[in-house]
Amino acid sequence: MVDHRPTMNDVARTAGVSLKTVSRVVNGETTVAPDLAARVHAAVESLDYRPHLGASMLRRNDRRTRTIGVLLDDVSHPFSAAVHRAVEDQARARGIHVLTGSLDHDPVRERALAAAFAERQTDGLILAPSGADLDPHTMPVVYVDRVPTGAPGDTVISTNISGAAGAVRHLIAHGHHRIGFLGGDRRLSTARERYTGYQRALGRRAGPAVHDLHDPTAACAAAVAMLRGPDAPTALFTTQSTVTIGAVRALRRLDRQHAVALAGFDDFPLADLLDPPVTVVAQDPSRIGETAALALFERIDGYAGEPREIRIPTTLIPRGSGEL
Amino acid sequence: MVDHRPTMNDVARTAGVSLKTVSRVVNGETTVAPDLAARVHAAVESLDYRPHLGASMLRRNDRRTRTIGVLLDDVSHPFSAAVHRAVEDQARARGIHVLTGSLDHDPVRERALAAAFAERQTDGLILAPSGADLDPHTMPVVYVDRVPTGAPGDTVISTNISGAAGAVRHLIAHGHHRIGFLGGDRRLSTARERYTGYQRALGRRAGPAVHDLHDPTAACAAAVAMLRGPDAPTALFTTQSTVTIGAVRALRRLDRQHAVALAGFDDFPLADLLDPPVTVVAQDPSRIGETAALALFERIDGYAGEPREIRIPTTLIPRGSGEL
DNA sequence: GTGAAAGCGCTAACAC
DNA sequence: GTGTTAGCGCTTTCAC
């Protein structure tokens, strides 16, 4: 009997074999006599022995922790949460575990968490880059949702330009000429790319634009101001779900929800139950997470090709608000 | 120069001091002469040395990894995601990191992930128990959202009975006598407790009830059947947001959304933008996560009192659907 | 097939 | 103040 957490040594003593034999059995090596293996298994059982992954990885040749880090904007935001879940599912399929962190677009936190994960010897990192220049990373990294600045690497990201252009063309096809733009943080490549798509679809007829909106409240205020202004647009294009929801609230407040068309980038739960149901360009966060995880595992397994940029297609979902 | 990841030994050699001096500097001990400390810092800088947390924790007396595990139903579900985020915020404040996993109500996965986290020497675990009997855990555990069976421990959970009873009394106060019940998985304590609250408010006048609904589709079908049945209820009470959303869809499909009242347990995004806006009993997932994290840290720090059951209050939010 | 000895990167205990 | 030695729990190497 031992009073501390049992070690391999305790198991060896109980089973009456050498430490190394226990190691062989625990690691599933087949070169152990059946009777010895049985005694080891019995001892493991009776002592409730659990291997110490940290100690094993310290000595092991491959030095893998079978743990990856996932750093996203905010694990409670639907988009990040869906990416997280998809990564987790792919990781589970390979017996890999996931350390998480929310960055809230803070480059300082990004650096601190990436460093902390490195000290924990994670095998790799999936990262939604904050927008500031990145330190070079000491482990394989795959970026999601945004193009990183200053540190090239595999990047998995939506077809922002064509998706945004498609939504705006959809509004144009329904007779709109003056289409207002409500966008997010221009320091991030997503907001910039979606604005490019908007401009590309409209050419020189691009309407009023407000940028750098972060939350529904600010977006609502901006939309109200735009709709009350001179040359008010007859349709709105929004670049992220928080802004879209703010625009929905603005249209309600002005009671113009059936008069002004709306198309938003990024789908959100219950968009189809609103009145009118909201037309969106849906991203595929699950596929983004899954693809990023698979790319990361390839890198961890030694793939050393050039950085890849993988674009995940978006889908226009006409629901009503964009067809007014 | 070294070609592998630099170790303390490399730093010591570069700085011309002993290994132990480097250890002291890296760990912030103040008993080092300033000039030696400066040389060590310079060497750390130039080699880009990063301490190896696994090795340090192996030898250290306190044997803390400063990592906890968080096992929830589904990290992409809004409730779980909000709990996760709140736990993460409390953990960050203490320099602790978070390993996550989604259980999908699967006891097998719960056991496997808890065991894997134990091998990784997490300092503690926050767990939404799957409902099956739990193995005794080898580390401090705090349960969230549900009362565990077979393994007592600190539990942080909403005031399910009084919250549900309050919502049903609210419907009664608005003139409803026949109130239908649509509930979730009865193997879980949450669903049972909310049904108890429903019964308590109605006494022997309890109306038709359907249990074990898992998703909006099933809930929608059950609601349609109930509203088309004999003695159709004039109001519905639902016990979780997935079921509430199913009921909303059912009322829409029958075009009865302004005729049949609805109150749901658990708030959800955009509930206030639906028509009519949905009256709910809001839980406080952030506070649940925060409270659970603090309780876990107390346990990790050695608190050994009796298991505690901490109830987090719910709030009735009348928005329209419950006041018809 | 099995075991003894060495050592992964680091910290504890104790000397100087 | 600083360095030396031992050893955390495990896997490697290499002898038997």
How far is Cα B125 from Cα B77, in angstroms, rounded to an integer? 19
Q: Which two tokens stand for residue A278?
A: 């909201």
Residue A82, Cβ neighbours under 10 Å: how many?
20
Is it the case that residue A1 has pLDDT exceeding 60? no
Can you tell me the distance from the alpha carbon of B166 to that of B189, in angstroms, rounded to the nearest whole number?
Answer: 18
Phi/psi for B261 (5° steps) reads: -75, 155
- Look at residues B41, B58, B75 and tell me which one is the last residue of a structural domain: B58
Q: Are residues A204 and A137 in the same domain?
A: no
Option in A50, A120, A245 nearest B118 (CB): A50
Q: What is residue A126's three-state secondary structure?
A: strand
Give the pLDDT confidence score for residue B150 in this predicted structure. Answer: 84
pLDDT grade, residue A3 (50/70/90)? low
Which nucleotide is the nearest neighbour of B56, by CA and C1'?
C10
CATH of the domain at A46: 1.10.260.40
Distance B21 CA to D3 C1' (A): 8
Residue B148, CA distances (Å) to A50, A84, B9, B307 in order: 24, 26, 48, 12
Number of domains comprising chain A: 3
Q: Are residues A306 and A256 in the same domain?
A: no
Q: Say whether both B175 and B203 belong to one domain.
A: yes
Q: Which nucleotides of C are covered by protein (CB under 7 A)?
A: 1-13
Instruction: For residue A181, give every residue at least 6 positions away whose Cβ sits within 8 Å of its Cβ, in sequence order, or none.
Output: A195, A198, A206, A207, A208, A209, A210, A236, A237, A239
In tens, the pLDDT along A91-127 reads: 999 999 999 999 999 999 999 999 999 999 999 999 9
In this structure, is residue A187 part of a structural domain? yes
Q: B52 and B126 share a domain?
A: no
| A99:B97 CB<8 A | yes
Residue B191 covered by a domain = yes
Does at least one atom of strand C sit less than 7 Å from the CB of A310? no
Using N-to-C axis directions, what is the helix angle for B34-47 and B8-15, rounded to 10°?
120
Does residue A154 belong to any structural domain of this protein? yes
Positions on chain D within 7 A of a protein C-beta: 1-5, 7-13
SS3 state at B172: helix
Residues B121 and B142 in one domain: yes
Residues B120 and B28 in one domain: no
Nearest CA among B28, B9, B30, B10 for reference residue B20: B9
Same domain, A172 and A278: yes
Angle subtended at Cα A179 by Cα A176 and Cα A183, rounded to the nearest 5 degrees? 150
Assess whether pLDDT exceeds 60 at residue A220. yes
**Is residue B320 assigned to a domain?**
no
pLDDT 10s digit of each residue in chain B, 324 long? Answer: 556 889 999 999 999 999 999 999 999 888 888 899 999 999 999 999 999 999 999 999 999 999 999 999 999 999 999 999 999 999 999 999 999 999 999 999 999 999 999 999 999 999 999 877 777 788 999 999 999 988 889 999 999 999 999 999 999 999 999 999 999 999 999 999 999 999 999 988 888 999 999 999 999 999 999 999 888 999 999 999 999 999 999 999 999 999 999 999 999 999 999 999 999 999 999 999 999 999 999 999 999 999 999 999 999 999 999 998
Smallest CA–C1' separation from A29, nucleotide: C1
According to the model, what pLDDT value does residue B123 have? 97
CATH number at B262 reads: 3.40.50.2300
Residue predicted with more confidence, A240 or B229 = A240
Strand partners, A17: none
C-alpha to C-alpha distances, B165 to A128, B161, B175, B195, nearest whole angstrom? 43, 6, 16, 9
- A97 and A91 Cβ atoms separated by less than 8 Å: yes
Find which nucleotide's C1' atom is closest to B52's CA. C9
DSSP H helices, chain B, are 8-15, 19-26, 34-47, 53-59, 78-93, 107-119, 160-173, 189-202, 216-228, 241-253, 285-300
B316 occurs within a structural domain:
no
Q: Cβ neighbours of residue A271 under 8 Å, at least 6 residues apart?
A: A277, A278, A280, A319
Asked whether strand C has any atom less than 7 Å from the CB of B65, the reply is no
Pair (B195, B258) in one structural domain: yes
Same domain as B294, residue B154: yes
Verify if strand D has an atom below 7 Å from the CB of B317.
no
pTM score, whole prediction: 0.95
d(CA A144, CA A185) in angstroms, rounded, equals 16
Q: Which range of residues forms the domain containing residue B152?
A: 67-158+285-311
CA distance B77 to chain A (A): 8
Angle of helix B285-300 versus helix B78-93 axis, rounded to 10: 40
Q: Are residues B241 and B293 in the same domain?
A: no
**C1' of D7 to CA of B59 (Å):** 8
Answer yes or no: do B57 and A57 touch at CB < 8 A.
Answer: no
Contact A203, A169 (CB under 8 A): no
Residue with the larger pLDDT of the pair A205 and B269: B269
* Half-sphere exposure for B161 (CA within 13 Å, toward CB): 7
DSSP-assigned letters across all residues of B204-245: GG---EE----SHHHHHHHHHHHHHSTT--SEEEESSHHHHH
Task: Please check whether residues A50 and A119 belong to one and the same domain.
Answer: no
Residues A56, A58: Cα–Cα separation, whole Å: 5
User: Quick one: A139 and A240 in the same domain?
Assistant: no
Question: Stated in angstroms, how far is B240 CA from C9 C1'?
Answer: 50
pLDDT (0 to 100) of residue A146 = 95
